[in-house]
Amino acid sequence: MDIQAILSAATGGHGAVNPYAAIAYLESGILFILALRGLSSPATAQSGNRFGMIGMTIAVVTTLLTHMPMKLGDATNSYTGVDPVGLIEILVAIGIGAVIGIVMARRIAMTAMPQLVAAFHSLVGLAAVAVAAAAYLNPVAFGIADAAGQIHVVSRVEMGLGIAIGAITFSGSVIAFLKLNGNMSGSPIMLPGRHIINLGTLAAIVALTAYFTQDQSPWVFWTITGLSFAIGFLLIIPIGGADMPVVVSMLNSYSGWAAAAMGFTLGNTAMIITGALVGSSGAILSYIMCRAMNRSFISVIAGGFGADDSGGGAGGSKEQRPWKPGSAEDAAFLMSQAENVIIVPGYGMAVAQAQHALREMADQLKKEGVNVKYAIHPVAGRMPGHMNVLLAEANVPYDEVFELEDINGEFAQCDVAFVIGANDVTNPAAKTDKTSPIYGMPVLDVEKAKTVLFVKRSMGGVGYAGVDNDVFYMDQTMMLLGDAKKMTEQIVKAM
Amino acid sequence: MDFIAIFSIFVLACFVGYFVVWSVTPALHTPLMSVTNAISSVIIVGALIASAAAGSATSKWLGLAAVVMASINIFGGFAVTSRMLAMYKKKER
């Protein structure tokens, strides 16, 4: 079958599905499933990513072939073939996007991945809004209107949902980006009566979407759009920096639902399958992050975590307790005498850019016959799996890196736990102290190790949750105060 | 396609998504987010339809703008995923 035949089949009337195109979209949907499937192991992940690229190419090429920009015939010229200018415009648009995207992907530092992902989410959201608006303005082209130009009722609901989710994704991601990038304070911004404002706005969006099925006037459509932009903004500003991993995952999920809603409008299987995949992926990641912080999803969304540091937790933690300082030489000696060392990196390690020095230290230890492993808490970085990427960047082999539940039993047999840039995720108060704000959060059992080496900038600062850590004051703990990178380098030198 | 057929595909795809995503190793959750980001830009399909359609200039330009945004995501998302995945190496033995 040649292109002309496919083209004529595609333009054969509204709602008529071109079977070749439908099969092609199904194929790209399946390739996207395989792309995610590949991520079950680092060994298959690259080929999964290639499946994703092939799937996307198929979707784009199919759409281009079935929706060529056409010249309209007039009195003097009945030629109605492909409009070359229109085609060039589209290819230029793709080209511009390709250049920007590839440059961003090449330049971004791995520590800044959360910001990049937030920025990308905002683009998906805005693109969804633009597509929904385009479909609203030109419904006949999307095959969702009857002869009189009235948009089908089902399509109006889908469109309303699409634009609402898209707009929330956009404005929410912009705020998340600004908070993660440090352009905006990470501390929650609490508006008075925000719950009432938010619920009222959400109710208005739902009511207007319902009304939109009866009246497709522009004011209804654009009011839904405006309110949705506003609610995305309002929802994210009260959420604190510590909860950003949840927010980024949640927005990931929204960007998927936005694509799915547009897929319903267009009756496109590739978009629906992808939307469902991405939507569930983001939802599962949000759930994993919430579980790792022992926070309910509702309380994250309600916001305000880290705002009320009233009194700094239980037991008047401001009292002076004795702790044992140590030097780089002590640390080097202790670790080289050890049999098993578990390294517990946290975001502070990444901020100090200590991962390369850390890997050198681990290499030295391995040369001396020490068994070195890394223990990663799910919220160690600023987004799900962030710490794993940072360690991979420093050439730490992925089979030395273990998740919390896989390694927690090994602390009891390990000689040295080397905690660097992490705090709350090692705090035993989460297991014992019911009054602690982090009570119930799964933590790494570093206190069970024979010796704990705790690298920390100073004794003053505490983690996100603002609680003191009993590990600092235990007999087997040695505090190594200083910059994480410099301290690690000194330890390497002392070995 | 009628609504019920599309809805069935959607519901089944949610189940597929649920099982596939739980099988992703936690070490690759960041690449998972960047690749889902890239594939959610399949919304470019809608953008291409809008930019190719005759009848409304505003609609066409909105479509072209959406093509640019979605392309940034597609190329950027796949490129950064592949850059990250290239860093994951096994222990040398």
**pLDDT for B22-76, tens place per residue?**
999 999 999 999 999 999 999 999 999 999 888 888 999 999 999 999 999 999 9
Start-end of H helices in A394-479: 404-407, 429-432
Of B10, B17, B91, the CB nearest to A397: B91
Give the other-Cβ count within 10 Å of A477's Cβ.
22
Mutation for testing the B interface, residue in A26, A56, A57, A131 having most B CBs under 10 Å: A131
Q: A231-245, A266-280, A387-401, B64-78: which has the minimum mean pLDDT?
A: A231-245
Predicted local confidence at residue A464, as pLDDT? 58
Tokens for A62, please give them: 């199919």
Q: For A109-161, write each residue's pLDDT tens digit.
A: 998 999 999 999 999 999 999 999 999 998 888 888 887 778 888 889 989 99
> Using CA atoms, how far apart are residues A85 and A69, in angstroms rounded to an integer?
9
Test mutation, B33, B61, B64, B93, chain A, max A CBs within 10 A:
B33
Chain B residues whose CB is inside 8 A of the A265 CB are 46
The neighbour count for residue A364, using CB atoms within 10 Å, is 19
Please give the pLDDT value at position A307. Answer: 45
Contact residues, chain A, for B62 at CB < 8 Å: 130-131, 133-134, 137
A42 near B CB under 8 A: yes
Backbone φ and ψ for A188, nearest 5 degrees, come out as -65, 140
pLDDT at A94 over 90: yes
Which of A130, A140, A395 faces B65 most closely, judged by CB atoms? A130
Cβ A131–B77 below 8 Å, yes or no?
Answer: no
Nearest CA in chain B to A83: B52
Determine contact, residues A471/A459, Cβ cutoff 8 Å: no
User: How far from the centroid of its chain's Cα atoms is residue A315's Cα?
Assistant: 36
pLDDT of residue A203: 93
Shortest CA gap A473–chain B (Å):
32
Mutation for A interface: B12, B35, B43, B85, most A CBs within 10 A? B43
A52 interfacial to chain B (CB closer than 8 Å) = yes
Phi and psi at residue A47, in whole multiples of 5°?
-70, -35
- Section A317-331 average pLDDT: 77
Could you tell me if A131 and B47 are in contact, meaning their C-beta atoms sit under 8 angstroms apart?
A: yes
Pick the catalytic residue from A2, A215, A424, A445: A424
In 3D, which of A441, A409, A410, A407 has the Cα closest to residue A423? Answer: A441
Per-residue confidence (pLDDT) for residue A314, from 0 to 100: 41
- Chain B residues whose beta carbon lies within 8 Å of the beta carbon of residue A135: 46, 50, 59
How many pairs of residues across A and B have Cβ atoms under 8 Å apart? 387
Residue ranges of alpha helices (H) inside A303-346 are 328-337
pLDDT of residue A238: 86
CB A63 to CB B48 under 8 A?
yes
Q: What is the pLDDT of residue A317?
A: 47
Known catalytic membership, residue A424: yes
Distance from CA of B4 to the nearest CA of A (A): 11
The residue of chain B with its CA nearest to that of A405 is B26
Using a CB-CB cut-off of 8 Å, the residues of chain B touching A400 are: 91
> Which chain A residues are closer than 8 Å to B92 by Cβ?
397
Q: How many residues does this entry show for chain B?
A: 93
Whether B14 and A279 lie within 8 Å, measured CB to CB: yes
pLDDT tens digits, residue range A236-267? 888 877 788 888 999 999 999 999 999 998 88
- Among candidates B29, B39, B38, which has minimal Cα distance to A42? B29
Mean pLDDT to the nearest integer, A432-441: 81
pLDDT, average across residues A71-89? 74
In the three-class reduction of DSSP (H, G, I as helix; E, B as strand; rest coil), residue A173 is classed as helix
Distance CA A458, CA A451 (A): 20
- Predicted confidence at residue A78, as pLDDT, reads 60
Is A269 within 8 Å of chain B by CB? yes
* Among A357, A373, A467, A458, residue whose Cα is nearest residue A416: A373
**Rounded-to-integer distance, Cα A301 and Cα A213, Å:** 30
Nearest CA-CA partner of B3 in A161, A155, A271, A138: A155
Give contacts of A105 with chain B, Cβ < 8 Å: 75-77, 79-80, 83
Nearest Cβ partner for B45 among A268, A384, A389: A268
Q: Is A115 on the interface with B (CB under 8 A)?
A: no
Does the CB of A252 have a partner CB in chain B at under 8 Å? yes
Q: Which residue of A has its CA nearest to B79?
A: A105
Interface contact A252-B59, CB threshold 8 A: no
Q: Tell me the CB-side half-sphere exposure of residue A306, using CA atoms within 13 A.
A: 18
How far is the C-alpha of A87 from the C-alpha of A67, rounded, in Å? 10
Predicted pLDDT of residue A17 = 64
Closest Cα in chain A to B52: A69
Residue linked to tokens 């694509």? A259
The three-class DSSP label of residue A152 is coil
Distance CA A426, CA A417 (A): 11
pLDDT on residue A3: 52
The amino acid occupying position A276 is A
What is the Cα–Cα distance from A367 to A363, expressed in whole angstroms? Answer: 6
- Ramachandran region, residue A315 (left: φ > 0; alpha: ψ -120 to 50; beta: rest): left
Q: Which residues of A touch B19 (CB under 8 A)?
A: none
